[in-house]
Amino acid sequence: MIWLLIFVLAGVVLFNRYLLLEPRLPIRLPDFIRQSLQYSAPCLLTAICGPILLGDSGLNGLTSNPYTYAALLSIGCALVIKNMLLSVLVSLVGFYTLLYMMG
């Protein structure tokens, strides 16, 4: 069910970004709307990842949660590695390594 939700939300974001931000399409939006639509993916990602990171224990369980460390690793990779594909791959390897070591 979670995977279905992730793929549906990814499809919605992809459709919205393509339809509304593709310069070759005849749809023209005002600049302030185009600029605000650029924040849709990080907002959806935050809404999905927030409950996963906090879980049932709330802020008390952050230090023992491998998802917390994987999120910090992903942020660090994104800041250091400028290639998005390589950053995602390193983050995934780090995430599964953390799950194996902490789980």
**Residues with Cβ < 8 Å from 95, sequence gap 6 or more?**
66, 70, 73, 74
Whether 8 and 49 map to the same domain: the answer is yes
Same domain, yes or no, for 9 and 22? yes
pLDDT of residue 17 exceeding 80, the answer is no
Domain ends where: 54, 74, 94? 54
For residue 61, the model assigns a pLDDT of 63
Count Cα neighbours of 100 within 13 Å in the Cβ-side half-sphere.
6
Residue 26 is classified by DSSP as S
Q: Supply the pLDDT for residue 9.
A: 83
Whether residues 50 and 61 fall in one domain: no
> Same domain, yes or no, for 1 and 47?
yes
CB atoms within 10 A of CB 89: 13
Beta strands per DSSP E along the chain:
none
Instruction: Give the range of the structural domain holding residue 12, as residue numbers without chain letter.
Output: 1-54
The SS3 call for residue 36 is: helix
**18-39 residue pLDDT tens:** 776 677 767 777 788 777 767 6
CB atoms inside a 10 Å sphere around CB 70: 21
Q: Name the domain count of the chain.
A: 2
Tell me the per-residue pLDDT of 70-99, one tens digit each, with 9 for 90 and over.
Answer: 888 888 888 898 888 888 899 889 888 988
> In the prediction, which pLDDT does 30 show?
79
Task: Tell me what pLDDT residue 59 has.
Answer: 62
Instruction: Tell me: do 32 and 65 sit in the same domain.
Output: no
